[in-house]
């Protein structure tokens, strides 16, 4: 039915008034346990960006866009592109560590809270901005996830330029791995223990990285992006959690947004980021929701990623924002930091955790 401009303005005014009234009912709230959000300082929703530790500049870029009235997902993608461009970040985009054959394969996903739409790309070669390709999949197709050769052809169709993503630094690290590798790679036997891995190769067990960035904009909308070059020296074609909606990223505009970095396989097996958002929907603070899912992962992990004494030999980090602008992060192992930008500016903070390293 046709509505006049006056009717639309009145409807928009009423909607704004309802939102404002709801905001005025929010009291001060402090997160429980670990490192979470500070108390809410205003009666209105406040914009915030939260990211993995390598995303401080990304959160600043995202909030620059948000404070100028930009969309949450546009802000998230613009932020992560900083790391996709950075050859010193060996876990993302250009300069990312290659698979076991020396080929860089990128994964990424995006999700937009207001439309509840998503886009993802996996095992993408020769295209630097996997995050942008994922966003175009979301915006210009009825599909969600493209991989491999098809993803590359799609990117070419939309004007992305192919380039060699393997930097000299990444190539030399891959060469070192090839020269020093043993049976301890992505393959395993049922009785294999991580305790037997030579010390010089243990670095590659917990070669985390990836960047996840979640944003709450000034309109009260949530968006997120996760992008990565994946596990160092992985089996060609391996896809982790980063491009899988519900595992490495999930956004629900009613409850919150969450994403992850770390060992992707355990997140896939637990639908981890979806669970973080669900826990926030049940009333948990962002930090408590992240901690609960870390605990769930540890309880469910039985084979392949444990020391002989049963302790986890891997790390997973979760980053979350709820609809009110509270944020939090938690990890399985100690020592992780995350980046956040809100009304108090950009800064690093320590993540809550389950276990001390070592």
Return the active site residues: 210
| Residue recorded with tokens 């979760």 | 318
Spell 102-113 as b/e; 16+ CB within 10 A means b: bebbbbbbbbbb
Show contacts of 27-32: CB within 8 Å, 24+ apart.
29/285, 29/324, 29/326, 31/285, 31/286, 31/287, 31/288, 31/326, 31/328, 32/285, 32/287, 32/288
- Tokens describing residue 297: 């992962």
**Distance of CA 281 to CAs 21, 101, 244, 323, Å?**
21, 43, 21, 9
In a 10 Å sphere around its CB, with 0-12 CB exposed, 13-18 middle and 19+ buried, how is residue 179 labelled? exposed
DSSP letter at 38 equals P
Contact 272, 265 (CB under 8 A): no
Q: Alpha helices of 85-147 — where are they, by DSSP H?
A: 130-140
CB within 8 A of 218, min separation 6: which ones? 47, 66, 67, 69
Structure tokens at 225: 């992006």
Write phi, then psi, for 173 (nearest 5 degrees). -65, -40
Per residue in 131-151, is it b (16+ CB within 10 Å) or e — as a string? bbbbbbbbeeeeebbbbeeeb
Rounded to the nearest 5°, which phi and psi values hold at 320?
Answer: -145, 150
**In degrees, to the nearest 5, what angle opens at C-alpha 278 toward C-alphas 277 and 281?**
90
* Contact between 151 and 124 (Cβ < 8 Å): yes
């Amino acid at each position: 039915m046709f509505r006049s401009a006056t009717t639309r303005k009145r409807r928009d005014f009423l909607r704004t008034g309802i939102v404002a009234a709801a905001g005025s009912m929010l009291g001060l709230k402090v997160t429980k346990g670990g490192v979470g959000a500070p108390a809410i300082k205003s009666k209105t929703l406040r914009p915030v960006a939260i990211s993995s530790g390598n995303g401080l500049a990304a959160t600043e870029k995202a909030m620059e866009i948000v404070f100028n009235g930009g969309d949450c997902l546009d802000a998230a993608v613009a932020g992560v592109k900083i790391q996709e461009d950075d050859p010193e970040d060996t876990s993302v985009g250009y300069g990312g560590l290659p698979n076991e054959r020396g080929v860089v394969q990128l994964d990424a996903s995006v999700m937009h809270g207001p439309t509840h739409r998503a886009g993802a790309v996996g095992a993408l070669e020769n295209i630097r901005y996997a995050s942008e390709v994922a966003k175009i999949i979301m915006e210009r197709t009825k599909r969600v996830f493209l991989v491999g050769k098809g993803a590359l052809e799609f990117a070419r169709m939309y004007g992305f330029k192919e380039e060699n993503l393997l930097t000299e630094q990444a190539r030399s690290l891959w060469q070192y791995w090839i020269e020093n590798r043993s049976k301890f790679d992505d393959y395993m036997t049922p009785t294999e223990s991580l305790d037997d891995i030579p010390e010089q190769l243990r670095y590659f067990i917990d070669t985390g990285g990836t960047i996840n960035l979640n944003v709450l904009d000034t309109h009260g909308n949530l968006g997120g992006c996760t992008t990565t070059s994946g596990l160092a020296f992985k089996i060609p074609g391996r896809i982790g959690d980063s491009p899988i909606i519900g595992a490495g990223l999930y956004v629900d505009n009613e409850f919150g947004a969450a994403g992850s970095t770390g060992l992707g396989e355990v997140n896939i097996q637990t639908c981890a980021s979806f669970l973080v958002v669900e826990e926030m929907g049940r009333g948990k603070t962002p930090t408590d929701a992240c901690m609960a899912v870390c605990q769930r992962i540890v309880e469910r992990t039985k084979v392949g990623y444990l020391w002989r004494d049963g302790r986890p030999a891997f790390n997973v980090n979760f980053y979350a924002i709820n609809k009110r602008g509270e944020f939090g992060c938690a990890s399985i192992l100690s020592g992780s930091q995350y980046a956040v930008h809100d009304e108090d500016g950009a800064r690093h903070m320590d993540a809550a955790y389950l276990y001390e390293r070592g």
